A and B are shown apart, each in its own frame.
Chain A
Amino acid sequence: MTNIVLDIDNLVVGLGKNPSGQRIIDGVSLQVREGETLCVVGESGSGKSVTSLTVMGLLQKGALVPSSGSVKLVGEELLTASDRRLRQLRATRMAMIFQEPMTALNPVVPVGRQIDEVLRVHTDLDARARRQKILAMMEHVRLPDVARIFASYPHRLSGGQRQRIMIAMALVLEPKLLIADEPTTALDVTTQKQILTLIRDLQRDHGTAVLFITHDMGVVAEIADRVAVMRYGRLVETGTLDGILRTPAMEYTRNLLSSVPSLVPRAPRAETEEPVVLETNELGKVYRERSFFGKAREVDAAKDVTLTLRKGRTLGIVGESGSGKSTVARCIVRLIDPTSGGVRLAGREISDLSRRLLQPHRKKIQIIFQDPYRSLNPRVTVGETIAEGPINYGMPRAEALAKARELLELVDLPADAISRYPHQFSGGQRQRIAIARALALDPDVLVADEAVSALDVSVQAQVLELLDEIQQRLGIALLFITHDLRVAAQICDDVAVMQHGRIVEQGPAAQVLTHPQQAYTRALLDAAPGRGWDFANFRPVEVAAE
């Protein structure tokens, strides 16, 4: 029997000091052993992050208060420990890495010094010994050119490198427990794979206990030894990885697994001879960075992008961050102006139209954005938001509002939503509102730019279903931008894979995602987490293929 490093017993965390107040964490018990990875998985609001912050003693003072239960780290009670003792334990016995490597490092301090701070606070080593230890640790997390990176500021490093710095910082004093809160969520799949491998390897070498928090079943399948499923602050079930994925006991876990889109593309739809509604011809966008007196710098954000989309079909553009997929979407909708090439919308060239001449064509193409929390004006009612477009194009107000009501029904929202404000809705509902807003102008083409990326899987599945249904009813063409190959596999007829602003591979989804011709597409598919599992059918993919 290996040692228990973290023992959470019947933990309750309440909102505010009032003991009868709302419970954010309600009676959670978890154990993590030496050398083991426990994945805590759950959708947003399930309390998984609050649990980890409670362990670290990093809850916002006065706002969230642990009211009962116990949290023991190697036998030592943490809930009653003094601030001073908690500070001593952090980084030495328990350490944490966070979701956003972009913002988790102090932007105005070189990264080497940020790691050094840990050693200065917790050890008596002199400057030279500290530096040597840090450089060794940086090499250990497989950072290149460590002397240079030591002196670099965070903004000079890539997302993956920053997360490696965070890991180096967390593990430099060899803590017993590492808490990783969605550490790869903000990273591209290929980087994600490297970081997951790194955490695994380091854990093996040092026998660290890892509490790994994620919403991504794919990541769970890659890294977990045991899994704990959380919902509404309660523990739904715990079990071994295999047990949870093959024979989930609880309904919620089954639903969660069923919602994970499969990497196996859906059955292809018959080719159609419907008219082409959107075409781009060698579309290009060059960003020029001018500086006063200095020389200009040019970046090809998109180059020679040629796409064709027919009525009623869905074309996916997939790629990692910086691949230019959003740039292409924005050029097509003319939110930004392409620098070369053409965009034909319903047979009419629109890439060189002036803003004023473009106006009548705008209604034919509409866009939905990634973050429904920021893409709706918080001071305008839902009805006004949806009706604004048609009113702009001359529809009488009463008629436009009536239409808004119809559309809300179409996207499965109650008609009384019309007079409410965006903050009164959940993320999934807001994305439905955004879809209704886009549909209000009866567009021929709907561009969805990472439209389901910010949503929990169960909500994601519903929104994807909604888009599919709308497409069948209205015969709309969908241009679907995503970094998530699973989502692409489930919604796209055709897929274009982008890298460094160019399309590297293009074709029917079934072909591109199962028999990729290009090395880059293969690498992307290889890196997709949990590709060995067919989650919805509770079995590994190999079995499914038999």
Chain B
Amino acid sequence: MLGYLLRRILAAIPVMGVVALFVFLLLRLTPGDPAAILAGDNATPEQLDRIRTSLGLNEPLYTQFFTWIGKLLQGDLGVSLISNVPVLKMISQRVEPSISIALSTIILAIVVAVPLGVIAAWKHGTWIDRFVMGLSVVGFSVPVFVIGYVLIQIFAIELRWVPVQGFRSITAGFGPFFERIILPTCTLSFIYVALIARMTRAAMLDVLGEDYVRTARAKGISETGVLLHHALRNAAVPVITVIGTGFALLISGVVVTESVFNLPGIGRLTVDAVLARDYPVIQAMILLTSLIYVTVNLLIDVAYTLLDPRIRY
């Protein structure tokens, strides 16, 4: 197991290397002078010169690449062209809201969706099944911002149970943190509940038709035992896959929800950077997103081997 983990982590290095090369070339291969792109339309020749020297643009391409990688490995992601703040600092400020929302959303979604999916599969073809599936269609089709504003209207404006928007760090106390995070979490959960419930139901239906489920019943095991001990674990692999990719999507930014609830998250940082052509930030965000996906995929694969002893690499 440890050996496998180590091999997988080693294998992730070339992947990240390719991503880094792509990110590096992004700026260099864009038509025109990178310095001019970086400096914007109204730069003076002196400014351009300064940027060229500071970025080492006069050096050969491979020297530039290795210098850039070297800085990267020391955590130097460059400085934002717009705010002049180091990119690393900008990101680190934005990470907490994004991770908090992603974690709480995925946990809520799993807690709600997996039981729903199991029950729907168990009561396949009954009104319970149809109700759960109907719910999931609604979850899929109602836009996130609509759910967000409806929830704000009800719980923040009418009932005044929670603040309308904003974010407080957990270091400022769990109460303020929790009451600001609860609405965006519920909003985002809708689609994930729909997705995971559907996946769980489909996987459970497959598994419930298997011979070993019949064997379990022939042993005189209770229906709950059959569902939870024999069926669910076998159905877990596709469900985990969906949960994993869903989590990666969540953590790398959910722009609409962040906007609706005015959360300072990674999604908005990315969009702002793209709109402002803040290249160092864009580069950093691509790297970060790739890193998240590589890590999540690794975790999913590790989960596979834990869940299914037949899967060995």
Contact = CB atoms under 8 A, between A and B. Distances in A.
- Verify that A and B bind, or say they do not: yes
A143 interface: no
Give the most central of B10, B218, B233: most A CB within 10 Å.
B218
Give the most central of A106, A109, A153, A169: most B CB within 10 Å.
A106
A106 B215 contact: yes
A108 B221 contact: no
Given A106-B230, A107-B308, A56 B7 contact: no
Interface in A389-438: none
B307 interface: yes
Contacts of A485: none
Contacts of B222: 87, 121
Contacts of A58: 214, 217-218
Contact of A104 (B11, B215, B220, B234): B215
B218 A56 contact: yes
A87 B307 contact: no
Interface in A83-136: 86-92, 95-96, 98, 100, 103-109, 117-118, 121-122
B143 to A, nearest CB: 36
A104 B217 CA distance: 11
Contacts of A88: 220
Task: State the 8 A-B residue pairs at the shortest beta-carbon distance, nearest first.
Answer: A90-B220, A103-B211, A106-B212, A153-B309, A87-B220, A104-B211, A96-B218, A91-B220
Contact of B219 (A91, A103, A109, A293): A91
B49 interface: no
Give the most central of B219, B222, B229: most A CB within 10 Å.
B219
B212 A105 contact: yes
A121 B215 contact: no
Contacts of B218: 56, 58, 90-91, 95-96
Given A106-B230, A108-B234, A292-B7, A166 B215 contact: yes
Nearest to B237: A108
B297 to A, nearest CB: 15
A106 B213 CA distance: 8
12 contacts: A58-B214, A91-B218, A98-B214, A98-B215, A104-B214, A108-B234, A108-B310, A117-B219, A117-B225, A118-B219, A121-B219, A293-B7
Interface of B: 7, 10-11, 210-212, 214-222, 225, 229-230, 233-234, 307-310, 313
A19 to B, nearest CB: 21
Contacts of B234: 106-108
A155 interface: yes
Contacts of A121: 219-222, 225
A108 B307 contact: yes
A20 interface: no
Contacts of A105: 212, 215
Interface string A49-75: 000000010100000000000000000
A291 interface: yes
Contacts, number: 79
A62 B7 CA distance: 51
B87 to A, nearest CB: 34
A109 B313 CA distance: 19
Contacts of B220: 86-92, 118, 121-122
A90 B215 contact: no
Contact of B310 (A95, A155, A291): A155
Interface residues of A, number: 32
Given A98-B211, A293-B7, A108 B309 contact: yes
Contacts of B11: 292
Interface of A: 56, 58, 86-92, 95-96, 98, 100, 103-109, 117-118, 121-122, 153, 155, 166, 169, 291-294
A86 B310 CA distance: 33
B310 A100 contact: no
Nearest to B309: A153
Contacts of A95: 218
Contact of A108 (B214, B215, B219, B308): B308
A293 B10 CA distance: 10
Given A87-B222, A109-B229, A155-B309, 14 more contacts: A58-B217, A96-B218, A98-B215, A103-B210, A104-B214, A105-B212, A106-B234, A107-B212, A109-B233, A117-B219, A117-B225, A153-B309, A169-B219, A294-B7
A89 B211 CA distance: 20
Contacts of A166: 215
Nearest to B310: A155
A293 B221 CA distance: 44
Contacts of A107: 212, 234, 308-310
A163 to B, nearest CB: 12
Nearest to A88: B220
Nearest to B233: A108
Contacts of B217: 58, 90
A153 B219 CA distance: 18
A451 B214 CA distance: 30
Contacts of A294: 7
A108 B308 CA distance: 5
A430 B212 CA distance: 30
B313 to A, nearest CB: 7
A88 B221 CA distance: 9
B234 to A, nearest CB: 6
A98 B216 CA distance: 12
Give the most central of A91, A104, A153: most B CB within 10 Å.
A104
B122 to A, nearest CB: 11
Contacts of B215: 98, 104-106, 166, 169
A100 B121 CA distance: 24
A86 B220 CA distance: 7
A106 B216 contact: yes
A450 B309 CA distance: 31
B274 to A, nearest CB: 36
Contacts of B307: 108
Contacts of B309: 107-108, 153, 155
Nearest to A84: B222
A91 B217 CA distance: 10
Nearest to A87: B220
B212 A117 contact: no
Nearest to B209: A60
B215 to A, nearest CB: 5
Contacts of A169: 215, 219
A113 B233 CA distance: 15
